[in-house]
Amino acid sequence: MARVRDLLEEAILAGELQPGERLRAEALAQRFGTSRTPIREALLQLEGQGLVQVEPNRGAVVRTFDRDDVHDLYEVRALLEPAAAARAASRITDADLERLDALCADASVEEQIVRNETFHRIIVEAAGSARLEVAMRAASGIPRTFRSIFWHDERQRADSMMCHRRLVSALRARDAALAEAVMRMHILGAIAFLEETWPNR
């Protein structure tokens, strides 16, 4: 069932399933080569993550995000992810540090959007807390169409990559306080950019 949830989540985040699109269990079962029961269970989990809405008499639909939704998700990340980075500093493996280094290499914008997700996921997993992973999964469910606004801005992209490199240095030094501070700066920077480019109206 986890495989079905992951495939469905990826389809939503990648924009293959569009906001407002109805999610029919039978069609999804055929698409992912499974029965309808795992699909229904996956939809309930994704509802809990905020990616799906179950509406009376309509069934499940892909959730539509607005500015306030995205802002709220980043604010929650600003609370959780610095703590994950601090925990990861004493637990992360050398192999994971090598993976993080590789993800900091230059790449196209489209590649960087996906690499960014992997980068942050490695740190959260290295924190070694199943509960924190669940909470972060719910707070990270931002479709890539929204994330792309950050990575297509040259200044924001440079700031993000600088933070990533500083995070790797802090984690390699096993400096929990520095890793926490850099991650907080990284997420707050994204919030500031969101407020600058997508003002509340």
Q: Is the pTM of this model over 0.85?
A: no
Fold of the CATH domain 67-197: Four Helix Bundle (Hemerythrin (Met), subunit A) (1.20.120)
Does 67-197 match 2-62 at the fold level? no
Q: What is the pLDDT of residue 199?
A: 64
CA distance 9 to 15: 10
Rounded average pLDDT over 78-87:
97
83-111 tens-digit pLDDT: 999 999 999 999 999 999 999 998 888 88
Region of residue 85 (left: phi > 0; alpha: psi -120 to 50; beta: else):
alpha
Q: Is the pLDDT higher at 45 or at 179?
A: 179
Give 13-71 pLDDT, tens digit per residue: 888 888 888 988 889 888 988 888 889 898 988 888 888 888 777 788 888 888 888 88
The chain-wide mean pLDDT, for the chain, equals 89
Domain ranges for the chain, please list them: 2-62, 67-197
Fold of the domain spanning 2-62: Arc Repressor Mutant, subunit A (1.10.10)
- Helix intervals (H) in the chain: 2-13, 25-32, 36-48, 67-89, 94-103, 109-126, 130-139, 144-151, 154-172, 176-197
pLDDT at 200 over 70: no
